[in-house]
Chains A and B, each alone.
Chain A
């Protein structure tokens, strides 16, 4: 990466030594935790609030504010739960962060625990991240051995345990209340909010749930201060973010950039442009749940406000790139199949809506669509969006709405020609192998 700024989250990626605790400590690791042990919990929260750090899991909620919502006088224990269920299609930055720098996650988690008086923290890792779970188990073993977890951490009188919990192949468990259900030993289905997890979360106790990248941003904020953190990024979206860029690009990968960097820079300068010199057709700013944008939006700054102004969401910062030769109907159908498969079944609009949408989009993609299918699809989003417990349904509706908004003609051409206009002949793509 041709970084012209000081890398933060990825600064030690060139040094495999930091994967082990000795290498991590040699680079100043766990100093932030020691600092935090000398701070009042309220001061830790104020520091993170002042930094403007926003949750990197998709919603962008201010992290310090989230922590401040946790009551510590209820007589119940409080919990920190790390959301490492990273399953949003197109997203893999948490995976690489943990592979290359696992102790920074543990340190950030420990600091969050201090801020809310938590004595047992959990990491929920998706099952398919088998290798990354093993990396974390080894790091946790080292951190216990060095006294950063267990009884009297780092010579203090604070006890803190950390438990790794593996998921088992359910996208929905990245939704925070579903994650809690899963961690409690139930089917991973979302719960009605309120009560919010900050008040009644894990085991009906006050709980903070944070994304991996969010927590890994915390140690530097504690050591270097909020002003330092705000030197990069924008006023409302401070700091840097790890973007994943994939699909039709020359150099897919995870790249750290200041928030507010335009897509053009990520795509053309950092990722080497669209694959094989073709032109940009469509892209997701933050995983498949965020509305598609087009080549017209190439100069959109990648921060929460600018992407929202362009009609989408920054989400997880996972950019998937479609080029001029890619069929938007195919892409929409594949993404919709994902939501139909991953719908937990709790809410009818999502469970039934995604099932039908997959089929109707499938017949359009395969050249059997009818003229009325397109208005049906356009109408469908209205009956799914905001009509279910959680955002899975909204993501599913966004795929359909945004692809029709920007590429309605392409859908109509499929119906008119009885095949994909981008292909010479009739091919059935949506049918199973």
Chain B
């Protein structure tokens, strides 16, 4: 069935898709969002780690390979709101150095834009959805910008207890910026600090898409079609323009949605899968793939976790799943001797019983039962996110296996190189020093398989079709009415949590699309 043509079809109703929908619907465009998962609403967000799994991926799986397979299901979204429905809403920025790694260090890539191009959009996003933090305190590491609209969040003993150790090891910590309300903001209530953020915040204190951009988009007339799985992006016969998308609706009936512009916002692994599966005789390698880089340069952060058991009750049930303190002190790319890459250090977060159990995965039986009792009172943690350099071998490919709609499954191959492993180890050593200097009775590193966090790359931005898939706005170099949004367009990843930058880049891209509409529509 072919549906009436619309101005914009957005594939994916998560963080980036919601921003595009809001900006374009407010600009008077007829917008349709196609989302593979359900239409989650605030009342679905039950305060339970068990029930919270309903908002984790359940569609066609991404097959995982490599030495360090990506923790895909824990990270990805499924349904309206996407991963931003269960994200931690940590809102650190990239720093200027992240945009010029090639120029400064002759490694990886430069972005085709600078920090200064993105900075106004960081400030705009903060005003739009609300950020709590202390911008002045951050400016020891980054250029000045606007103050955040809300003061920092409360801190708790599970974070404060590490300050002594950080000071002793020469690491200044400042209040972490978060997309949560420390005070009432725009009619949304302040946070209650009960730590259920990661299963979805139903009260509106955390800025998920449902109550921010997507809510605005719906008010402006955008239509959300849930349980609709896009399988191909369609082109005209000459291969010069996108004409729409093919998708299967909730009844598994095939539909065609024609549109003047298509935005792929289905996260870093699914966007390449769609582009590769949309190959035609004019685009034999897949759409927007003249460079051969669709699906390439997939990146993830490695996470160095340090756990500490204290004599005192650190009240680890209080707080948010986001963090209370952060530091860019080890962010300079050569901060650790002999190792390359940025590190982003955080401390102070609420723990649930699953976290307590995971903190000592080797324990079981009565020993675990005893440990859980102690951990419930005395456990706290430090984390350091580490940057991996883009590697063309880390990639998404199509496989011969098919999903229920006959679309090839995607395979994500990911391995950390020796440098990334060395950086992870350096961060673990740093964490242990801090924990011991904080007076921990016991402190240990979470070793074993290297945890991955966030997924970036696969459709990187650059200056031309020879070195990248899209330009700095997310527009395809080859097909002007095809746009890609989300962390997939990052050419390097930095070390800080990416969602604030995703929002900012999406705001920038969507405003560009609206301003250039006359050159895009047909």
**Do chains A and B interact in one complex?**
no
